[in-house]
Amino acid sequence: MSLVEEQLGGLMRKSLAGDAGAYRVLLGELGSLLHRYFARRLGRDSADVEDLVQDTLMAVHAKRATYDVGQPFTVWIHAIARYKLIDHARYRRIRVTVPLEEDEAVFASDDVEAAMARRDLDAMLDTLPAQPRTLIREVKIEGRSVAETAEKTGLSEAAVKVGVHRGLKALAARFGGAKHP
Amino acid sequence: MTATPELIDALVADLRPVPAGTVWRRIAIGVGVGGLVSAVLMVLWLGLRADLADAVWTTSYWAKFIYPLLLGIAGVLAVERLGRPGGRAKRAARLAVAAVVAVLLLAVAQFMNSPPEMYRGLLMGSSAMLCPFYIVSLATPIYLGLLWVLRGLAPTRLAVAGAGAGLLAGGVGAWIYAFHCGETAMPFLATWYSLGIVASVALGALVGRYVLRW
């Protein structure tokens, strides 16, 4: 089972039991996933994207009883999103830029997991002070060289290396529960 | 248009627990009410067959009882699946096909055990032209109940979900009709009952395509 399925499915089951906290998290996650999903198909600047996101969230709310807890949640939400998109395209004559045949299992795909991992990473980095945070972002995430980063930030190359190293160490101390061998 | 975070606030505030079995309960209510209306309609309009008490001892009565009921059950399975986003109804389709094949085999067997001069009677009975019409008529209240059911659910393939509802309505409608109908031949059952139910499925798909949008 994919990470997304496990996470969202769990939240949905709690929501059906009436857990408002889980439901808020679920709707927030779905909001960003749906935004990506519709934006990719209608074009990022389309004003319809946000309308569709909201329409779909309302459908999730109104039709939540139709989620069968024995079935994958990602299939359920994907079917709703796809239905709303097709309905939208049909009745408003909007051009869909990605062929619908290609969009099976979008919510279970790796790029969603990557997006979520990236969001987790951002949250982790936010716990660091500004300087190591910037340095790690430049060198480890954006992939710039130490020399480039040194030039950009006005620090010496040694200071950049030390900053990255200390930042990573701080992160490892805070989040590195299991030590890798 | 409100912003998405405000919408989420509103939806969270509106959250109520959903009891397990909500979908099944809704189907039971829709089929129950529709079926009741249909049964009353049949009794008042067509009347129970006069020889019902004797007929319950015959095989033909039970074939007419079981065949539509099996298709009705397949319809229930189909609606329960197709009423959910992304739902598929393979199990229901298999059950429906099996029931139709079984009745066709019974019909063929009865033909083979009868002299050719009886064929026409076995096939046409005395109500061939009316039977499908009555079945569709009696299916209508049930189908209307199912539109209410499906509008509360979330079918994503509207024509297919409508066809499933048509199968359920046609099966139960034919089952109710069997309490009136005095025909006894298997070829009659295989042809005219099936035709009535197929017509319900087709009408159900057509109507569903337009009425079930949400």
Write down the pLDDT at residue B2: 66
**Contact list, A65 vs chain B (CB under 8 Å):** 18, 22-23, 153
Query: How many Cβ atoms are within 10 Å of A53's Cβ, its own excluded?
Result: 24
Q: Contact, B193 vs B64, CB < 8 A?
A: yes
Q: Do A105 and A156 have their domain in common? A: no
Q: Do A71 and A142 have their domain in common? A: no
Q: Could you tell me if residue A68 is inside a domain?
A: yes
Q: Could you tell me if residue A101 is inside a domain?
A: yes
The residue of A83, A103, A107 whose CB has the most chain B CBs within 10 angstroms, and thus the best one to mutate to test that interface, is A83
Q: Could you tell me if residue A114 is inside a domain?
A: no
Q: Contact, A56 vs A80, CB < 8 A?
A: yes
Q: Do A7 and A94 have their domain in common? A: yes
Write down the pLDDT at residue A181: 41
Q: Do A135 and A59 have their domain in common? A: no
A47 touches chain B (CB under 8 A): no
Residue type, A178: A
Q: Do A105 and A133 have their domain in common? A: no
Q: Do A94 and A11 have their domain in common? A: yes
B198 Cα to chain A: minimum distance (Å):
27
The mean per-residue pLDDT over the stretch A122-150 comes to: 81
Quick one: how far is CA A133 from the chain centroid?
20
Per the document, the length of chain A is 181
Q: Could you tell me if residue A74 is inside a domain?
A: yes
Q: Do A94 and A131 have their domain in common? A: no
Q: What is the tens place of the pLDDT at every residue in B165-177?
A: 999 999 999 999 9
Q: Assign residue B86 a region (left: φ > 0; alpha: ψ between -120 and 50; beta: otherwise).
A: left
Closest CA to B64 of B182, B195, B189, B187: B189
Which segment, A81-85, A95-99, A107-111, A159-163, is predicted with the most confidence on average? A81-85
Quick one: closest CA in A to B9, which residue?
Answer: A24
Write down the pLDDT at residue A99: 54
Flag the least confident range among A82-91, A117-126, B7-16, B185-194.
A117-126
- pLDDT for B90 beyond 80: yes
C-beta atoms of A61 and B11 within 8 A: yes
Rounded Cα distance between B173 and B180, Å, is 11
A14 touches chain B (CB under 8 A): no
- pLDDT for A83 beyond 70: yes
Q: Do A102 and A44 have their domain in common? A: yes
Query: How many Cβ atoms are within 10 Å of A51's Cβ, its own excluded?
Result: 16
Write down the pLDDT at residue A79: 95
**Contact list, A58 vs chain B (CB under 8 Å):** 7, 11
- pLDDT for B163 beyond 80: yes
Instruction: Spell out where A104-162 has E strands.
Output: none
> Complex ipTM, two decimals?
0.89
Q: Could you tell me if residue A13 is inside a domain?
A: yes
Q: What is the tens place of the pLDDT at every residue in B138-148?
A: 999 999 999 99
Q: Could you tell me if residue A22 is inside a domain?
A: yes
Q: Do A100 and A167 have their domain in common? A: no
Q: Do A67 and A100 have their domain in common? A: yes
Choose among A20, A57, A87: nearest Cβ to B15: A20
B21 touches chain A (CB under 8 A): no
- Helices and strands in chain B: count of H runs, count of E runs: 10, 0
A48 Cα to chain B: minimum distance (Å):
12
Quick one: closest CA in B to A71, which residue?
Answer: B87
Domain boundary residue, one of A54, A80, A109? A109
Choose among B1, B7, B156: nearest Cβ to A79: B156
Residue type, B94: R
Rounded Cα distance between A114 and B2, Å, is 30
Domain boundary residue, one of A109, A137, A165? A109
Strand (E) or helix (H) holding B137: helix B130-152
Return the ∠ at Cα A98 (arms to A93 and A100), rounded to 5°: 80
CATH number for A97: 1.10.1740
pLDDT band with cut points at 50, 70 and 90 for residue A180: very low
Q: Do A72 and A139 have their domain in common? A: no
A43 touches chain B (CB under 8 A): no
The total number of structural domains in chain A stands at 2
Q: Contact, B135 vs B170, CB < 8 A?
A: yes
- CA pseudo-torsion sign A29, A34, A40, A42: negative
Which phi and psi (to 5°) does residue A45 adopt? -90, -5
Joined together, the tokens standing for residue A155 give 């620090």
Q: pLDDT exceeding 70 applies to what percent of chain B?
A: 99
Quick one: how far is CA A85 from the chain centroid?
20
Burial B169-199 (b: 16+ CB within 10 A, else e): bbbbbbbbbbbbbbbbbbbbbbbbbbbbbbb
Q: Do A24 and A57 have their domain in common? A: yes
A54 touches chain B (CB under 8 A): yes
Residue A161, C-beta contacts closer than 8 angstroms, at least 6 positions apart: A146
**Contact list, B18 vs chain A (CB under 8 Å):** 16, 64-65
- pLDDT for A155 beyond 90: no
Q: A168: domain range?
A: 127-175
Q: Could you tell me if residue A170 is inside a domain?
A: yes
Rounded Cα distance between A43 and A97, Å, is 7
C-beta atoms of A66 and B83 within 8 A: yes
Q: What is the tens place of the pLDDT at every residue in A13-61?
A: 999 999 999 999 999 999 999 999 999 888 877 788 999 999 999 999 9
C-beta atoms of B23 and A66 within 8 A: yes
Instruction: Spell out where chain B has E strands.
Output: none
Q: What is the tens place of the pLDDT at every residue in B39-73?
A: 999 999 999 988 888 888 888 889 999 999 999 99
Q: Find the distance separating the first CA and the last CA of chain A, reported in whole Å.
A: 26
CATH number for A152: 1.10.10
Q: Could you tell me if residue A120 is inside a domain?
A: no
